[in-house]
Structure 1
Amino acid sequence: MSEFFQPNAELIQRRWPAVAERLLSEDPGPLQADLVEGLGSTLSINGIQLTSRHDRTREAQLQAASLPVDSPVLHVYGTGLGDLQLELLQRSGLIRLHVHILSGAVFALVLQLLDQQPWLSDSRVELHYAGDLAEICLPFFALPSELVLADDFNAKIRDRLISETHLTFNNREFDPDNPEIATRLLESVEQIRVDSDAAQLFAAHAGQPMFVIATGPSLEQHFVTLRSIRGQTPRPLFVCVDTAYRPLIESGIKPDVVVTIDQRISQRHLPPEDSANITLVYMPLVAPAVLQAWQGKRYVAYSASPIFRVLRELLPRAGLFAGGSVIHPAVDLAVKMGASQITLFGADFAFPNNKTHAGWNDGDLGPQLGAARHWVLDGHGQRVKTQLNFRSYLCELERYIAANPHVVFYNSSRAGAMIAGTTFHPEFSR
C-alpha cells in the first residue's frame, strides 16, 4: 500500500496542502474493496464498480466524448481510477481540468492501491472537495459510481449533479406538444379570462412575515401551534400548497392563500366547502372543474415553462417561479407579496419518521415509503430516506433562497432535509 500512497500523497501535499490534510484524515477502513475481473479489471467499493471491468480506456473515451471538445475548462466530479482525467488531459486545447472529490474515503483508498501521479502531476489539474463549493460547475462529467458512493460532506453537490443530469428526462411530461396538455390549456382559456391576475397580489403584504406550509410529515407536529397562531391578531399570513390544504382544514387551521399547479389535483385535495374566504392562486394545468368549485377569490399565474408560451401571449398574466414542486411558486408568491421573512412548515423533502406526507396515507400522493432508495441529511446531520425528485425540488428551492438574500428564511423542523440558506426557527424547531 505504501508503494503507491506515499508518492501520491506527497504530490498532493506539494500542490494542494489543504486537500492533502483532509485526505490524510479520511478513513477508508470501513469500505469493502474488491478486485473485479472481466476482460480487464477494476475496483469494486461496497459492491459498486468504480469503472468498467472490461475496458476502462474505452469507457473513459465515451465519457470524455460527452464533454465539448473546444471547452478550455472542464470539471470532473469523482476521481475514479484516473482514467477519465487522463483521457481529457490528452486534449491540447484544455487549459484547466477541475477534479472534484465526491468521496474522500474512496479517493484515499485509491491512492493506496494505484499510482495516480500521471494525472495529479499535470499542471492543468486542480483538485477540490466537491462540497467546498455551493453550486456545480459547467461543463461537467460526474462519474456514476461516485454519485452513489458520495459521502455526507459532498452530498449537496451530488444532489445538484443528479438533478442536472435528469433535467431533460424530468421535463418530458411538460412537452408543449403533448395533446393532453394542449387540451387542458384550451379548456382553461375561459377560466383565465374570468379570474384575476396574480400580479394584483404582489406587494399586497409588504413587510409582513409569512408561513409557507407544505405537506411533509413534520407538519403534523405543528398543528396545535399553527391553530393557536391562526387565532391571533396580528399574525403571519398563511400560504399553503394544495396537498396541505385538506390536512390543515381537518386540523382546524384555515390558510389565507392556497397555491396549486398540478393537473392531478382534484376536489379530493381541494374540497371547496367553506372556501369562500380563502384565496386560490393557480396555474392553468389545474382542472377547470376544481377551479370553478372554489368559492373564494381566484388568481392565475404562469411559470416560465414552454407549455404556457401561447397563453402568455394571448392572455398575459404574472409569472411565478417553478422548480418541479408546488412549494416553489408558493414561496415565490410569498416573496412577491412582500414577505420580510418566511417560515417553512412541512418542507421536509424527505420521509422522516417513516412517513411520506402529513395527513395522507402512504402512497396517496405518490410513491410509497418502501420505494425510497435515496437519502438526504436532516437537520441533525443524519441520513433520512427520500426519493430523487424530492432532492431535485430541494436543490431548486435552495437556489431560489440564495437568489433572494433580502428575505429571511426559517425552517420549522430539523426532522426533514437540511435546507441551505435557511435558519432553524428558534421557537418552532426545538
Structure 2
Amino acid sequence: MSNHSKNRIIKIVNGKEDVKTITVDGVFLHSKYNPISEANTYVKSNENIYINEEKAVVYGIGCGYHIKALLENTDLNCKILIFDFDKEVFNISKLNGFLDEIISNPRVQIFIGYNYENLHSLTKALSNCKDILIWKPSLKVLQEEYNDIKGIIKDFQISKLAISKYSSLMEENYQENMKVPCRKIDGFIQENTLEKKPIILVAAGPSLELVVEELKQLYGKIRIFAVGRALKFLMENGIKPDMICIIDPIDKIYFEQLKGFETLDVPLCFLSTANNLAVKNYKGPKYIFFNEEKMGTIKIDTGKSVATAVLDIAIKIGANPIIFVGQDLAYFNNKTHSGEAENHQNNIKYKTILGINGEMLSTTEGMLSFKRWIERKIQQNPDTTFINCSKGAKIIGAPAKDFADITHMLI
C-alpha cells in the first residue's frame, strides 16, 4: 500500500517475520529487519530518561513499536506524553491498526498535528521534564514547514548541555541562595505592575552603545530593566536601571558584572541557581525566582538566557509595549556584546541570519536558540506590542524601529 500526498510517497512495507513498518520517501520509520527488537534496544538504552519519573515525553509515534516498549518498561504510574506534528503519517499508522493498543491505554496522552496548542503543550512539557525521547526517523521525515518542532527540540538540547555542564555548581548555588534573606519574585511583580505602560529591556548586545543618548533622555521617565552584563555600561553613562537580572551560575557573574555595585538600591532578580557570590554580596533588594513550578511561587520562563528571563518578568508585570534594546542575537560590528573589542572567534561554528536591514549576519546556535525562544514568547502574547530597537537579527513579531524615532512617543 502507498499514499501520495504533498509530494511525499508513504508506503506500508513488510519486514522480516511479516512485521510491518512505514516508509516516507524511502526513509524507514522503523527497522526493516526487526522493528520490535530495535524498539526494545532503543528504550532500554534511554532508561535514564524515564526510570522513576512520573512522566516520559516522546517525540515521534511512527508505528508505535517504541511506544509499546516504553509502556512495558515504565512504572504503571508513569504517564507517556507523545508529540508528533506529522498528522498524515499518524493517520496512516492509525488506519492500519498499528496504534490501537497505544491509543486505548489510559497512561498515554497523544498530541498530533501542527498547531499553537500542541506547540505550547510541547514547550510546557519540556520545561517540566528531565529529557525527551526522540524517535529520530519521525523528525527526519517531517516536512520543512514544520521546522518549529526541530527548533524547540534543539533549544531544549542546548539548554540541557549547559545544565549538565554546571549541574553540581548550580546545586551548590541553590543550597546557598536558599539561605540568603530575600523575597520571592511574586513580591516584585505585585509591586511593579505596569499595566499597559511601556518598558525598555536592555540586553548587552553591541548595538547598545549606539542608543546611549536616547536612553539618557528616557532615564527616569520610563522603566528600564537590564541584564547584569549591561549594568556597568549603563552606570558609567549615568543610567541606573529599575531592575537587574542574573541567572548564570559561574563566579564571573559577580566579578565582571556586580562587583563595585553591591550597594545599589536597585532590585536584583535572580534565578535560584544563579551565582551565590553575586547574590550574597549584593546589598540591595533581592528577589528569587524559579524556572519550574516550586513553592507556590510564580514561575519565570528563563529560556536559559538572562535576557529571556527579563522578558518574561516584563510580560508578567503587564508592560506594553515592550521595547528591546541591545538584543542583537548576532554579531554586530564583529562583536556580540557592548564594551568589547572585536570578538569573532575562529573556533566557533557560525550560522547566518537575516539582519533588520536585510543583510546577513553571523550568529551562533546558542543565539539562534534565544531568538526562537523570544519569538515563541511573542507569539504566546498577541495582546502585547513588541518593538525591536536593536541592530542585529530580525525578531519575528517585533517590528524593527529606530530607537531615536520612537523616543518622543515614549516620554
Structure-2-length-normalised TM-score: 0.63
Deviations 1:31-56 (A, max 9, x none): xxxxxxxxxxxxxxxxxxxxxxxxx9
CA-to-aligned-CA distance 1:299-336 (integer Å, 9 cap, x gap): 111111xxxx7xx34xx543211211111210111122
Q: Which amino acid aligns with 1:190?
A: K
| CA positional deviation for 1:429 | 6.9
Contact preservation (8 Å) 1:215, 1:241: yes
Shift of 1:185: 1.5
Instruction: From the superposition, tell whether residues 425 and 351 of structure 1 become closer, same or farther in structure 2 (CA, over 3 Å).
Output: same
Q: Quickly say closer, same or farther: Cα 1:350–1:169, change in 2 above 3 A.
A: closer
**Structure 1 residues 209 and 369: CA distance shift in structure 2, 3 A:** farther
Are positions 1:331 and 2:311 aligned together? yes
Q: Please give the alpha-carbon distance, in whole angstroms, between the structure 2 residues aligned to 1:176 and 1:387.
A: 19
C-alpha displacement of 1:388: 0.5
CA distance in 1, matches of 2:156, 2:194: 35
> What's 1:424 paired with?
400
Q: Assess if the C-alpha contact under 8 Å between 1:411 and 1:429 holds in 2.
A: no
Task: Give the Cα separation in 2 of the matches to 1:372 and 1:428.
Answer: 34
User: Structure 1 159/224 Cα, relative in aligned 2: closer, same or farther at 3 Å?
Assistant: farther
1:197 alignment partner in structure 2 = 184
Alignment of 1:28-427 (within 5 A): 67-68=60-61, 69-70=63-64, 92=96, 141-143=138-140, 158=147, 161-165=150-154, 167-168=156-157, 170-174=159-163, 178-191=167-180, 194-203=181-190, 204-207=192-195, 208-230=197-219, 235-264=221-250, 265-273=253-261, 275-304=263-292, 312-313=294-295, 316-362=296-342, 368=345, 371-413=348-390, 415-425=391-401, 427=403
> Alignment partner of 1:319: what SS?
coil
Shift of 1:417: 1.4
**Do the aligned residues in 2 keep the contact of 1:343 with 1:425 (CA within 8 Å)?**
no
Q: Residue 224 of structure 2 aligns to a residue in which SS? A: strand
Q: Is the 8 A contact 1:246 1:271 kept in 2?
A: no
SS in structure 2 of the partner of residue 164 of structure 1: helix
What is the DSSP-based 3-state SS (H/G/I as helix, E as strand, rest coil) of the residue aligned with 2:318?
Answer: coil
Aligned partners of 2:257, 2:342: CA distance in 1, in Å?
Answer: 15
Q: Which residue of 2 aligns with 1:103?
A: none
Matched with 1:124 is none
Q: Displacement of 1:241 after TM fit?
A: 0.8
Give the superposition deviation at 1:73.
10
Q: CA RMSD in A?
A: 4.2
Change (3 A) 1:388 1:186: same
8 Å Cα contact 2:361/2:392 also seen in 1: yes
The superposition leaves residues 194-214 of structure 1 with CA deviations (integer Å, 9 ceiling, x where unpaired) of 111211122423232100011
- Aligned-residue sequence identity (percent) comes to 21
User: In the aligned structure 1, how far is the partner of 2:27 from the partner of 2:149?
Assistant: 27
**What CA distance in whole angstroms lies between the structure 2 residues aligned with 1:270 and 1:73?**
42
Query: For this pair of structures, how many residues does the alignment match?
Result: 313
CA contact (8 A) 2:329 2:367 kept: yes
SS in 2 for 1:359: coil
What residue ranges of structure 2 are gaps of 5+ in the alignment?
8-24, 40-58, 68-81, 100-113, 123-134, 407-411
Q: For 2:209 and 2:333, locate their aligned partners in 1 and report how far apart those are by CA, in whole Å.
A: 11
Cα offset for 1:182? 2.3
Contact 2:166–2:249 (Cα < 8 Å) also in 1 = no
Q: Deviations over 1:62-104 (max 9, x none)?
A: 699884214999657xxxxxxxx9xx99994589xxxxxxxxx
Distance, in Å, in 2 between the alignment partners of 1:198 and 1:165 is 29
Listed as ranges, the gaps of 5+ residues in structure 1 are 1-11, 20-55, 77-84, 96-129
- 1:240 aligned counterpart, secondary structure: strand
Q: Residue 301 of structure 2: SS of its match in structure 1? A: coil
